[in-house]
Amino acid sequence: MPLEEIWNKCLSIIEKKVGDNVFELWFKPMKLAQLKEQNAVIDIPNRFFKDWIDDYYPALLTDALGDVSGHPVSVKLRVAEKIDPETRKMDARLEVRKQRLASKGIYLNPKYIFDNFITGPSNQFAHAAAMAVAENPGASYNPLFIYGGVGLGKTHLITAIGNKVADRKKDFNILYVSSEQFTNEVVSAVRHGKTEELKKKYRNLDLLLVDDVQFLENKAATQEELFHTINVLYEKQSQIVISSDRPPKEIKTITDRLRSRFGMGLIADIQAPEPELKMAIIQKKAEMERIRLSEDVVSFLASKVKSNIRELEGCLIRLGAHSSLTGCPIDVAMAKNILRDILAEEDVPITVETIQKTVAEHFGIKYLDMKSKRRNKEIAMPRQIAMYISRQLTGSSLSDIGKNFGGKDHATVIYACKQIEDKRAKDEDFNKRIETLKNKIKI
C-alpha cells in the first residue's frame, strides 16, 4: 500500500477521534515520510506540534498506524524547523530519561515533575500530600486519593510522584496505568485465561499510580480486581496513588468496599486555579517552551481563557506554533485572532438550565428530575443546590428560578437557598463541593 494511501486512512481514523477543529489545526499539517517494517517517521512543522501531541495524544499516531498497517508501529516525529541548541539539549535529556525508565518497564511522562508544578491556594494541599508520599512511599497517606476537575493537574501530580520515587528508589517496581488501560487488561486476562499473570504484574509493585479511576463505574470485574490489588499492596506497605474527577463518595456505581479502600488514606482535592496562579503557570510554561510573551498577553490569557489549566497550556502552545510558522511576535491582537474559536464562548451567559444540567450530571440524576415534584433526598438536595447556584450565578429573579424548577414559588427558592447556606457553614466538605460545582459551571 502506498505511503499516501496509508496516511490518508490514518488521518480518517484520527479525525473521527479528535473532531474537526483539532484535526485541522494539529494533524492535517503532518505528513508520513517513511514507513519501514515497524518504524515510521512523520514530518511536523515545528517543535510545538511535537509538544502538543506528546501532552494530549501520545498514543494516537501509533495506534492509528498500527490499525492501518496491521502490526505495531513505533513513531518518530521529525521537526521541519531548525531547533535552537538549548531546546535540543533539553529534549535530548527528556528522551534519555524516558528511555532509561522504559528500559526498566516504567512508562512515565518525564516532563511531569514537581519542579515545574506551580502551586497556589487551589492546589497547595494536594501538592504537599504528593510530595510527602514521594519522599516516603508506603509510610503515610496510603492510599493517596487526589481529585479535581478535568485538566487541573492531577495527572501531573501523580506522575511527578512516580518520577521522584524512580529517582530516589532505583530498585522500586513502579507502574502508572489509566483506568481504561487497567480495564482492558482485566478483560483480556479473563478472556484468555491469564488472570494469574495479571495478578503477578499488579500485586508485586512498590508503587501503583491509577489515573482517572472514575471510569471504573459500572465495571464490576475491574472493580473487583482493583479492590483485591489494593488490599494486597496495602498489606505489603506498597504505595497506592489514585486520581479521579470527584471524591470517592460521589463516584456512583462502585462497590462500597472499594469506595472504603479509596478513603482509608488521605483524600486531597485540586480546585480551579485563581487568576494569579494562572498567570504564574502561563509564565512558567512559556519559559519552558522558550516562548516570548509580554505581560499584557499573559494578563489577557489569564483573564480571558476561562478553561482549565490544560486548555490554558494548549492555547499557549497554539500561539507558539503560529508564531514559529509565521515569524510574527505574539501580541494581544494575535492571541485574539488565533484563539477566537475558544474565546468566542467566553461571553455566553450562565443559564438556570445550564446549572440544572451540570448539577444533575454531577449527582448522577436525570435533568428532568430537577423539574419534577419528587421529594426523595437523592433528588431534593441536588435540586436545592441548583436553585442556590442559580440565585448566585444568574440574574434571574426568585420567581423565574422557581418557574424553571417545575413551577415552584419564590418561597421555595428562598427556603432552598437558606438550607444550602446553613449546610455550607457547618460542613466544610459540602462547602468545597459547592465551590467545585460553581467553578465547573463558570468555566
Give the pLDDT confidence of 312-335 residue by residue, as tens digits: 888 898 899 889 888 899 999 999
User: Is the confidence at residue 98, as pLDDT, over 80?
Assistant: yes
C-alpha 221: how far from its chain's center?
25
What average pLDDT score do residues 73-79 get?
A: 88
Task: Mark residue 84 as left, alpha or beta (left: phi above 0; alpha: psi -120 to 50; beta: remaining).
Answer: beta
Q: What share of the chain is helix, strand, coil (3-state, %, to 5)?
A: 60, 10, 30
Q: How many CB atoms lie within 10 A of CB 442?
A: 11
pLDDT, residue 319, reads 92
Backbone angles phi, psi at 140, to 5 degrees: -145, 160
Average pLDDT of the chain is 89
pLDDT, residue 387, reads 95
pLDDT, residue 345, reads 53
273-311 pLDDT per residue, tens: 888 888 999 999 888 888 889 999 998 888 887 657 888
At residue 196 the predicted structure's pLDDT band, cuts being 50, 70 and 90, is very high
pTM over 0.75: no
User: Is the confidence at residue 84, as pLDDT, over 90?
Assistant: no
As a whole number of angstroms, the distance between CA 398 and CA 409 comes to 8
What average pLDDT score do residues 368-375 get?
A: 88
At residue 135 the predicted structure's pLDDT band, cuts being 50, 70 and 90, is very high
Q: How many angstroms separate the Cα of 244 from the Cα of each of 12, 31, 68, 326?
A: 31, 36, 33, 40
User: Is the confidence at residue 420, as pLDDT, over 70?
Assistant: yes
With contact defined as beta carbons under 8 Å apart, do 113 and 163 qualify?
Answer: yes
